[in-house]
A and B are shown apart, each in its own frame.
Chain A
Amino acid sequence: MDVLSHLAGGFAAALSPLNLTMALLGSLLGTLVGVLPGLGPTAAIAILFPLTAVLPPVPAIIMLAAIYYGAMYGGSTTAILLNIPGEVASVPTCWDGYPMAQQGRGGVALGVAAIGSFVAGTFGVVALTFFAPVLADQALRFGPPEYFALMVLAFTAIVSLSGASLSRGIAMALCGYLLSLVGLGPATAQPRFTFGLGDLFGGVDLIALIVGLFALSEVFLGIEEARVAITQKITNLLPSRADLRRSLPAILRGTGIGFFLGLLPGCAPSVTVFVAYDVEKKVAKQPERFGHGAIEGVASPESANNATSAAGFIPLMALGIPASPPLALLLGGLTVYGLSPGPLLFERNPQFVWTVIASLYLGNVILLILNLPLIGLWVRITRIPYGILGPLILLLCFLGTYSVRNSMFDVAVSLVLGAAGYVLRKYHWPVAPMVVSFIVGPLLEKNLIQALSMSGGSLRIFVQRGITLSLLLAALALLGLSLWLMRTTVKRVELAAAEGAELS
């Protein structure tokens, strides 16, 4: 009852005209920026952050959270209609969303994405409300060895998404880890891999990496392929009964995976969406449909994305640990306003915490109510001819990358990575493992160092603790399963080729 009375107070505050307007404005602006190809939630929050500086803390954080949700929704639109993910978390949506759009089912893909996002987001916020203290307590029990083992599990999940070549996937993941090492070391704060360049002291910027590897390389490939945006009229947003039958279990599985993994600090949407997609593919009766427009391939990662985002608020608010780059920016927002995230935040600023939680409920409803009718508007933005859209994307990528840290160096990094991404994608090297390992790299390293410090350098610590050992065995099992699946797939392809089947 205590929770309900707190929540009621939160709703009363969140429904005040100023807070409600900020939630509405944030959702719209977030979607507007998120729908611009190449720009995702992190860039949207980073770009729109100055707008909130003029507001008091509560409406400012409400607006930032709404921008985050809105931009995630907008990212799905570009992922489905243009095959350009604004953030890593939208990459799996591209794999089946874009083929669906090519088949004239873009509206259904957008509709399922919106429904999945709403279901997962609402479930996440309800769970956040009622189980936050218990679940946060569980997450607190994880020590550095457990987190390390969890990151190893994430690593194998990433590598298992590498297509038919495990060595290429591992190579790209290792390159991502290597890039994450650039900057100041976590133990001594001494520069590493900077080669005397002052610009590298702050590390490689995640936005520059994403924009380069995904957005710029996408435009380069688009020029070559004379790509045009999906031009058919987007109608019939509501999925059919058959679509719902296929997508509902996927939405629920994605929600579960996204939420429970998202409770653990470090498990960002960029990790859980891949795990959700992987699981969906593994439980599917016809896994070969994936990558060719399977509706579950849109429903599951989209739900996982929103569920993780909601779950990420628990470690953010209860422990002060951001689970993803956008939440790290929100953490920055909290500290800017003199609020110290952590257990004390609940004790000292309950009104603030519960108003923000209530605004998350409202944000989900606002997005569903506003964005389904507005899909036509967002789609019209994507119908601009590629000769106009291409240069516009490039200019936005350039300015978006620059605006995160006001750094021309980051722009140079994104241009170089854009060229590298183009060549890698031409040779079918998976770029997603590189980006995901870049994100989890610092956490993996930090927990490895802490765990080894605890054990005096002995690796036995990783097999002496039950949870750690279980996670490492799960990682090993997943790797074995992935190897077996890859070999089976290769054999299937060879068999089909021998039989003269047309392989795309």
Chain B
Amino acid sequence: MNERRVAGAVLVMLGVVALIEARRLRALREEMVAGAVVGDDTFPWIIGGSLLLLGLYVLFVARWPEARVSFPAGPARRQLLATAGALAAYYVITPYLGYTVSTLVVSSGLYRAMGGYRWPVAVFIAGLTTGALYLMFRVWLLEPLPTGWIGM
């Protein structure tokens, strides 16, 4: 992957998106506020234009040394992917299963993935964590955590 090309392309894309939105906002301003010379579109024009110019500069002018970046392999990659997967799962299941069940399930997985603990130990620590966080956020701070279908 060529870092410079990817970065330049992303910046150009963001700039174009900002300019398109600025154009829409200018039309809206002219429709809503007659005679106004500036409005919600002014800053997006500046930012969009700057991003576009910078993106073109990065793509065609800038000379960056080739980045030597190594992403993890083997167990570290599996650990990283398992952690990211557990977080994504947490986001998906929390509204349905509620805070208590989803935190217990996900934290067991996280302790297993990140700490390498055996399942019984991971579930035990997860139970303690879930209880402590429940006491802190729900009982003590009265935060309205999601309860899901189960109601807890």
Q: CB within 8 Å of B: which residues of A?
A: 47-48, 50-51, 165, 167-168, 170-171, 174-175, 177-178, 181, 185-188, 190, 192-193, 216, 219-220, 223-224, 226, 385-388, 390-392, 394-396, 398-399, 402-403, 406, 408, 411-412, 415, 418-419, 426-428, 441, 444-445, 448-449, 452-453, 456-457
Contacts and interface: CB of A to CB of B under 8 A. Distances in A.
Contacts of B140: 51
Q: How large is the interface on B (under 10, 10 to 19, 20 to 34, 35 or more residues)?
A: 35 or more
A332 B95 CA distance: 29
A174 B90 contact: no
Given A47-B143, A220-B84, A457-B38, A449 B103 contact: no
Contacts of A392: 129
Nearest to A193: B21
Contact of B145 (A50, A170, A399, A444): A399
Contacts of A388: 111, 115, 125
B50 A452 contact: no
21 contacts: A50-B142, A167-B54, A167-B57, A178-B18, A178-B51, A187-B33, A187-B36, A188-B40, A193-B17, A193-B44, A223-B79, A223-B80, A223-B83, A223-B114, A388-B115, A391-B129, A449-B38, A449-B39, A452-B38, A452-B42, A457-B38
A212 to B, nearest CB: 11
Contacts of B18: 178, 181, 193
B100 interface: no
Contact of B87 (A165, A193, A394, A449): A394
Interface in B56-74: 57-58, 62, 64, 67, 69, 71-72
B7 interface: yes
Contacts of B91: 398, 408, 411-412, 415
Nearest to B1: A427
Nearest to A47: B141
A457 B38 CA distance: 7
A47 to B, nearest CB: 6
A192 B19 CA distance: 12
A329 B82 CA distance: 36
A229 B136 CA distance: 24
Contacts of B143: 47, 50, 399, 403, 406
A445 B25 CA distance: 15
Contacts of B144: 406
Contacts of A47: 137, 141, 143
B123 interface: no
A187 B111 contact: no
B47 A181 contact: yes
A190 B76 contact: no
A468 B49 CA distance: 24
Contacts of B84: 220, 419
Interface string B23-51: 00100110011001111101110010011
Interface in B83-110: 83-84, 87-88, 90-91, 94-95, 103, 106-107, 110
B111 A387 contact: yes
Contacts of B38: 187, 448-449, 452-453, 457
B37 A385 contact: no
A177 B50 CA distance: 11
A248 to B, nearest CB: 39
B131 interface: no
A171 B67 contact: no
A475 B149 CA distance: 56
B103 A395 contact: yes
Nearest to B111: A391
B110 A408 contact: no
Contacts of B58: 167, 171
B114 A390 contact: yes
Contacts of A170: 50, 54
Contact of B67 (A185, A408, A427): A427
Interface string B111-151: 10011110000000100010001000100111111100000
A390 B111 CA distance: 8
A398 B87 contact: yes
B47 A177 contact: yes
B11 to A, nearest CB: 6
Contacts of A50: 141-143
A174 B115 contact: no
B14 interface: yes
Contact of A223 (B7, B47, B76): B76
| In the complex, the 7 A-B pairs of residues with the closest C-beta atoms, listed nearest first | A387-B115, A185-B40, A457-B37, A391-B110, A445-B43, A452-B38, A187-B39
B106 to A, nearest CB: 8
